[in-house]
Structure 1
Amino acid sequence: PATGIFRLPVDRVFTIKGFGTVVTGSVISGRLKVGEAVMVYPALYKARVRSLQTHNRSVEEIVAGSRAAVNLQGLEKEELERGMVVATPGSLIPSRRLDAFLEVLPSAPRPLKHRQAVRFHTGTSERLAVPLLLEGDDLPPGGSGYVQFLLRDRVAVKPGDRFVIRNLSPAVTWGGGRILHVDPLRHKRRDPATLAVLKTLEQGTPEEQILSYLREAGAAGRSRGELAAMLPFDPQDLANRLNALVQKGQALLFDPENQRYVLSATARALEEDIRSQLQTYHRQNPLKPGLSKEELRRKLPEGLEVRLFNDLLQGLVQQKHIVLDKDLVRLAGHKIQLATDQEDLTRKLADLYRQGRLSPPTLKEVEAALKVPLAKLQPLLRVLVDQGTLVKVKEDLYFAGEALARLKGELIDFLKKNGEISVIQFKDLTGTSRKFTIPLLEYFDTTRVTVRVGEARRLREGG
């Protein structure tokens, strides 16, 4: 058809003095104008159309069905060969693996064997190939079935393209068929799920084929451009069908900017997976408030797009299934579960630090006062920090949250009146030793309350 992507399988390459490199072939789809950019597959060479001819006549445009010569600017004759395809940039996927439906001719000399080397012809290309028979060990004359071809060299084709296979020697034709998938995964032989997918690609409706490709992509999803290269549809037709699937709730457009889609069922399964991962995490870590977003994403299927992951989290927040607290994610009903003895210890810990005010105890002093090993106290310290009862100023140094809040207010008042504060003035303000004043000053720098200027601190703008 004259609509859709432009494709011209190359059958000849030559040069014309004063013009440069010329390729010839029959246009099998789309249209091309002088000055347009093209890509030569499977090598992925970029070029621009300098001039066009059809039937020895210069023209401004060529369309599907015409025999044409294309003068390419930017490529040398030695870079090109018969079997390459001149096409719309980004429209094809170079591949050495193809799924196909193969029919063996009744006149074939004998059954085609699994992994029997053949010559694979499609368009103007010829490749050595090995057929992996997916339904049995051979295909008899007159038989047919699903096959995955492994090619020695890449080709650039579209689903629906026809192919022929021939014996290596003598060059007897075994049969031919239709390409179904241009970038498939490796398959298990005799796998019912694989055969069902291939049957959909062979016989299914356009919508069923689109959904099949989205299902295969899983959490990574596919862009409209990727789908266009994998399906035999006009790009506008594909866009309309994708929009219809989104409207029906069967597909989800999670990245409008890059036109990336995922199967709606996949998105729902990912939501369930997120909730399940959080349930497991809370059960195994009852004293932790939640799981970091990045750690949660690593527990989900490989290839999950960050954009989709964030959309799923926001959706679960709106449904009140989860809570996002800065970088932490937790189930909506999750509360830190302390045993009775832990609750008692936590109260005693908090009291020790409240009493210490701006001269808090060291961890060794806490350990000695409560007669509890540090290993048992560390998780409870994290709980108190998460609750805001304590603030971790630096490694192994904690302050009561209330005491720090009061000090922050006093420090801001001092700076507003005096402009800056020295270490000695801060020591006088806090009434504590240098052992604590320096870490406290650095803490207020880090939390963007103050900024260090020489040996003094000033109120940070907006602090």
Structure 2
Amino acid sequence: MKNIIIGTAGHIDHGKTTLVKALTGRETDTLDEERKRGISINLGFTYLDLPNGNRVGIVDVPGHEKFIKNMMAGATGIDLVLFIIAADEGVMPQSREHLDILSYMNVHRGIIVVTKCDMVEDDYLMLIEEELKDFSKGTFLEDAPIIEVDSISGRGIEELKNVIENESEKVEEKKSDTPFRMNIDRAFPVKGIGIVVTGTLMEGKISKGEDLVIYPGERACKVRSIQVHGEDEDTAYAGQRTAINLSGIKSGEIERGDIIAQEGSMITTNIIDCKVIVSKTSDFPIHHWMRLRLGIGTREIFCRAVPLDSEEISQGEEGFVQLRLEEPLVCRNRDRFVLRSYSPVETIGGGVIIEPLAKKHNIDEELVKELQLKEQGELKDIIVQFANSEDELLSLKEIVSYTGENKDIVKEEVEALLEDEKIIKIVDRYVSEEVLLRIIENIKDILEKFHDKNPLSLGMTKNEILTQSLYEPNLRELEHILKIMQDRNIITESGEYFGLESHKIVLNPKQEKIKQELINEIRSNGLEKIENIKSLSRNDKERRHVLDFMIGKEILVFGAENNVLLKEDFEKAKEGILNHLKENERITVSEARDILKSSRKNVLLILEYFDSIKLTKRVDDYRVML
């Protein structure tokens, strides 16, 4: 069974609420002020049972120009609109404005309902139908059914129900396998129950006991209970009007315009790049730094416009615009919105978000080309563009959040992009080749500066590189990146040190003399006196530089204290221990002391190093060969 939301739209006093009551038997004007004034102020909600047994939700929106903001909140999530025109007045200003708003919100199916038909002659109804054909030409209502009704006498109501049923079958079912999201249009405390929020489920599904967050701010909450059309349910699905009882959130911490969704599934941003169309009837072209009202979901946010492909966008034209927001916006890629002028308040256009994590730009031809690709591109193109635009490694969760697509679908596209080498996996995160090259350039720059200051050093340790990196990979990710740099012959690894492949160390005569002195000293110590780098340096900076130069060439550095052996002494010790193991299968510390002619402390240092490089393995009080 499809989950469908039907919305009303049309000029004030054209009979929207009366029609809903005639269809459902229920009154949607619940405020005293609404009943007193005879107009809808807030959104009204109810449901309709169709002849085929399917139950659809109904959102009744206000028609007065002062309450357009409420109307836009109600239009969010509408699948089928009952576009209402009173027979005694015909098309009016809010009729045109509501049609524009519905188009910008991507509503593309509707029924034109001519109300108050008993108040006019049949000849006049024919004239109204002609007017409606002109009015709807070129819009999503151009081929919509036109039904004549009178809500008081009941004329045409049953026919309308049948047409609603037929049109409902043509509505495309919403996705329930994408991350859950609901724009909140009401939030209120209920005595003995707690906080209740209502809205239309835009995407995904929600179940009792689920942990969710309220955006903006990602405040944690839990679903205590769910109602759909006034009945308790364990799960609600995309396309249903839903009331959710929440725990973990207090009264006053949540309001209309907030979004309830899965943790990490939404993007919070202050700048968005968009495709915008300006209404043909607007008196306001969009120009640089124009202050606007952005209506998105159930929220309105003030923003400034920066056209990206022209100085301004005139009536009836479209173009790319950057919107710089005056407060954080919670959204996803491809979300629809409405633009209204700051003052006087008038609907002037609408559009779609192309880049929700934009950076500041003015008119920019190259940026416009990128936005055109994103607008037309497939999911894989959007993922690559996202990876290129972010100077960091991205988790699968972040990619899913950006695209707004189902996790499994995104994962399939990511795997295909990995095969095509359009993106690269670094441990558990992803990066484009373009961004990886920027990370590599940053590491090269770090090493170049280090080599300039330390010409005799082999390079830097992983941890030293990590503390200076601009891109903040974790240690495992940095190891992966360094391996890629080695494979590309950019860096070399010498023990624990990494240096540029191009870095060549040449000793001057004085340093050559120090080197020979060090070799003689370490050789004289042999295995009886094992010193470390610090003690051999003697607090002399140049001796330390020469020792660094010797690492991996003449000397071996091992152990937690950076102990030093000549490579020739290490090979002799290794040969003696391994020969004994080949003949005897195991060796004790005492037997190793006899072979190495050294102290117990030094023998333990050597044996522990053999264990660490997998030459030997300790078993109880002896070693065996691996």
Both proteins in one fold, TM over 0.5: yes
**Structure 1 residue aligned with 2:241:** 67
Q: Alpha-carbon deviation of 1:416?
A: 4.7
Work out whether residues 350 and 390 of structure 1, in 8 Å CA contact, stay in contact via their aligned partners in 2: no
Which of 330, 336, 342 aligns to 1:156? It is 330
Q: Does 1:200 align with 2:373?
A: yes
Work out whether residues 265 and 404 of structure 2, in 8 Å CA contact, stay in contact via their aligned partners in 1: no
Q: Once the two structures are superposed, what CA deviation does each residue of 1:318-341 show, in whole Å capped at 9, x if it has no partner?
A: 566643233201356865322456
Task: Tell me the amino acid that sits aligned with residue 394 of structure 2.
Answer: R
Work out whether residues 342 and 380 of structure 1, in 8 Å CA contact, stay in contact via their aligned partners in 2: yes
Q: Once the two structures are superposed, what CA deviation does each residue of 1:345-372 show, in whole Å capped at 9, x if it has no partner?
A: 64366557867998x9xxxxx9xxxxxx
Work out whether residues 271 and 324 of structure 2, in 8 Å CA contact, stay in contact via their aligned partners in 1: yes
Q: Kindly report which structure 2 residues correspond to 1:249-260, keeping only aligned pairs within 5 A, or say none.
A: 249-256=421-428, 260=429
Q: Once the two structures are superposed, what CA deviation does each residue of 1:272-300 show, in whole Å capped at 9, x if it has no partner?
A: 76567657765775422233334445665
Q: Alpha-carbon deviation of 1:184?
A: 2.5
Q: Alpha-carbon deviation of 1:12?
A: 1.2
Report the CA distance shift for 1:48/1:383 in structure 2 as closer, same or farther (over 3 A).
closer
Work out whether residues 495 and 552 of structure 2, in 8 Å CA contact, stay in contact via their aligned partners in 1: no
Q: Kindly report which structure 2 residues correspond to 1:12-411, keeping only aligned pairs within 5 A, or say none.
A: 12-185=186-359, 187-218=360-391, 220-256=392-428, 260-267=429-436, 270-271=439-440, 285-297=454-466, 301-317=470-486, 322-331=491-500, 336-339=505-508, 342-343=511-512, 346-347=515-516, 350=519, 379-380=545-546, 383=549, 387-388=553-554
**Structure 2 residue aligned with 1:425:** none
**Structure 2 residue aligned with 1:436:** none
Q: Alpha-carbon deviation of 1:5?
A: 1.4
Report the CA distance shift for 1:304/1:352 in structure 2 as closer, same or farther (over 3 A).
closer
Q: What is the aligned-residue RMSD (CA, Å)?
A: 4.3
Q: Alpha-carbon deviation of 1:261?
A: 0.8
- Say which SS state the counterpart of residue 375 (structure 2) adopts: helix
**Percent identity of equivalent pairs:** 25
Report the CA distance shift for 1:138/1:343 in structure 2 as closer, same or farther (over 3 A).
same
Deviates more, 1:169-178 or 1:326-335: 326-335
- Say which SS state the counterpart of residue 409 (structure 2) adopts: helix
Report the CA distance shift for 1:375/1:303 in structure 2 as closer, same or farther (over 3 A).
closer
Task: Tell me the amino acid that sits aligned with residue 433 of structure 2.
Answer: S
Q: Once the two structures are superposed, what CA deviation does each residue of 1:207-227 show, in whole Å capped at 9, x if it has no partner?
A: 111001101123x22111111
- Say which SS state the counterpart of residue 203 (structure 2) adopts: coil
- Say which SS state the counterpart of residue 399 (structure 2) adopts: helix
Structure 2: distance between partners of 1:376 and 1:255: 39
TM-score between the two structures when normalised by the length of structure 1: 0.74
Structure 2: distance between partners of 1:33 and 1:25: 15
**Structure 2 residue aligned with 1:435:** none
Report the CA distance shift for 1:401/1:210 in structure 2 as closer, same or farther (over 3 A).
closer
Q: Once the two structures are superposed, what CA deviation does each residue of 1:214-266 show, in whole Å capped at 9, x if it has no partner?
A: 01123x2211111111113222211111111112221112123xxx1111344
- Say which SS state the counterpart of residue 284 (structure 2) adopts: coil
TM-score between the two structures when normalised by the length of structure 2: 0.56
Q: Alpha-carbon deviation of 1:157?
A: 1.5
Work out whether residues 109 and 141 of structure 1, in 8 Å CA contact, stay in contact via their aligned partners in 2: yes
Work out whether residues 289 and 335 of structure 1, in 8 Å CA contact, stay in contact via their aligned partners in 2: no
Report the CA distance shift for 1:96/1:280 in structure 2 as closer, same or farther (over 3 A).
closer
Alignment length (residue pairs): 413
Task: Tell me the amino acid that sits aligned with residue 295 of structure 2.
Answer: H
- Say which SS state the counterpart of residue 381 (structure 2) adopts: helix
Work out whether residues 41 and 155 of structure 1, in 8 Å CA contact, stay in contact via their aligned partners in 2: no
Work out whether residues 350 and 400 of structure 1, in 8 Å CA contact, stay in contact via their aligned partners in 2: no
Report the CA distance shift for 1:191/1:462 in structure 2 as closer, same or farther (over 3 A).
farther
Q: Alpha-carbon deviation of 1:110?
A: 2.9
Structure 2: distance between partners of 1:155 and 1:278: 40
Q: Once the two structures are superposed, what CA deviation does each residue of 1:19-53 show, in whole Å capped at 9, x if it has no partner?
A: 22111111111111222222221132222222222
Task: Tell me the amino acid that sits aligned with residue 346 of structure 2.
Answer: V
- Say which SS state the counterpart of residue 127 (structure 1) adopts: strand
Structure 1: distance between partners of 2:510 and 2:217: 70
- Of structures 1 and 2, the larger Rg is shown by 2
Work out whether residues 29 and 64 of structure 1, in 8 Å CA contact, stay in contact via their aligned partners in 2: yes
Structure 1: distance between partners of 2:473 and 2:281: 49
Q: Once the two structures are superposed, what CA deviation does each residue of 1:78-112 show, in whole Å capped at 9, x if it has no partner?
A: 21111111222221122333222111112221322
Report the CA distance shift for 1:115/1:444 in structure 2 as closer, same or farther (over 3 A).
farther
Which runs of 5 or more residues in structure 1 are unaligned?
361-365, 367-373, 392-397, 410-414, 420-428, 431-439, 451-460
